[in-house]
Amino acid sequence: MNEKKERILGIVDSPRKGGNTETLVDEVLAGAKEAGAEISKIILNDLNIGYCQACNSCANNGKCRYDDDMTKINKEMSESTIFVFGTPVYYWGPTGIFKTFHDRLLATSRQGIIKGKKAILVVPLGGPASVARHTVGMLEDALNYQIADLVAQIVSPSTMEIEDLKQKKDILKQAYKVRYDAVKKTT
């Protein structure tokens, strides 16, 4: 049987290079690579992604009217089977980068690029885990609308500084092995 290789795309929505979000996304990707998947990573803060202008032209043919870096992200997403969305909590929700990107996913989902795929969410935050509830809930509902599955979520509470995450060996390990658990659960 010619089984298609899994391709996992990490999407980092934090502006802090080498910060907690990127570290957790990297752990998920490292575990996936070890398990034989192809991996790829995008740092959204390095890219040019404009706000959705609500022109609704994507309702006609799924295509966005604007030709910015979403074009190359859509290509990456179409070639991937699992997405790792990573955002810290900023003011009880995800970052503005995450929200701007997710608004633009309306066109992406209308092109059928997300439907039937899996997603893993990683969320570091300074406060307790309950503060991540809006971020997790938002992604759950958005993926539900896009007919995709949130197969795993890794919330890292009390993780304000980079040093805090270094102490959290259990969460780093959970991120490293999440791909095994998530794929096992849904296949």
Ligand X SMILES: Cc1cc2nc3c(=O)[nH]c(=O)nc-3n(C[C@H](O)[C@H](O)[C@H](O)COP(=O)(O)O)c2cc1C
Which positions touch ligand X (CB under 6 A)? 14, 16, 19-21, 88-92, 124-127, 131, 159-160
Dist. CA 111–CA 105, nearest whole Å: 10
Contact by Cβ (8 Å): 122, 28: yes
Q: Which is nearer to ligand X, 26 or 149 (CB)?
A: 26
Beta strands of 32-86 (E only): which ranges? 38-43, 82-86
Q: How far is the CB of 36 from ligand X (least distance, A)?
A: 28
Q: How far is the CB of 17 from ligand X (least distance, A)?
A: 9
Q: How far is the CB of 127 from ligand X (least distance, A)?
A: 3
Q: Which is nearer to ligand X, 144 or 167 (CB)?
A: 167
Q: Which is nearer to ligand X, 125 or 154 (CB)?
A: 125
Q: What strand order describes the sheet that includes 7-12? A: 38-43, 7-12, 82-86, 118-124, 149-156
As a residue count, the chain comes to: 187
Q: Is the dihedral of CA 47, 120, 136, 91 positive or negative?
A: negative
Q: By Cβ distance, which residue is nearest to ligand X?
A: 19
Q: How far is the CB of 77 from ligand X (least distance, A)?
A: 21
